[in-house]
Amino acid sequence: MAYLMAVDSGNTHIKWGLHDGCCWLTQGKAAQDSSMLLRQEWQDLPKPLCVMVSNVANTKTKTALSKLLSYWEVQPKWIAALAYQCGVRNYYAEPSLLGSDRWAALIAAWGLQRKGCLVVDVGTAMTVDTLSDTGEFLGGIIVPGLDLMKKTLATNATSLQLQEGEFNDYPDNTADAMHSGAIQALVGAIERMTVLLTVTLGHVPKCIISGGGSQQLQSQLSMAAKVVDNLVLEGLVLIAEENSRAPV
């Protein structure tokens, strides 16, 4: 059986999954500095025929990840955004400069939806990207994620401290005010992009949301939003499938 190892190397975490061509056999997640944990988890897996990687972390991280992946003696394929792939056309000013994670997520969303939609990934940063009804990536925005927004406040405002807070419509303490404010800001960005894309498409788009903070935002959104775990990994599978069909 031909196995695919898909790896999403982000700013904070590495997410991965082993796919058998039909479904995920196993998936995992580790902090970027947990190479020993990854080594232990991967050493008991069957050898993959193909390794697909999206990496948006720095060069040092890529080097360390390459060393880990060399365990299987399979040359990893590091994806980059293209002008066209898997039914998605890339309208970024310079297509190759679009983050590989955003590109893979867009491909996964198009594979799921096949219609205009918002593609939201909530991590260290939050991206809100747009797809047309014909699979065109029209553009998108990047804003600080939930934790980064709160850390930035605590770092730059001397009277504010980073504490755990809860969401409230009308917060009555500073921790809740910071947490609720960050949630409201992120939800507002998504809903603003929904309004813009609705005008462009002529209908209200669906929203696909992924990432560590997706559940917190989904509960506050005024539109229907479908949470899809590991959207980048799903996109890597589709890219690998299209590559396998390409003529040699």
Which member of 20, 33, 101, 133 is catalytic? 101
Residue 88: count of CB within 10 angstroms of its CB: 25
- Please list, residue by residue across 51-63, b when 16 or more beta carbons sit within 10 angstroms of its beta carbon and e when fewer do: bbbbbbbeeebbe
The yes-or-no answer on residue 176 being catalytic is no
Report the SS3 class of residue 67: helix
Contact partners, residue 117, CB within 8 Å, separation at least 6: 109, 130, 131, 205, 206, 207, 208
Check: CB of residue 218 under 8 Å from CB of residue 209.
Answer: yes
75 three-class SS? coil
Rg (CA), the chain: 19
List phi, psi (to 5°) of 245.
-90, -15
Q: What is the dihedral of CA 228, 232, 235, 240, to 10 degrees?
A: -140
* Residues 119 and 131: beta-carbon distance below 8 Å: yes
Where in the sequence numbering do the catalytic residues fall? 101
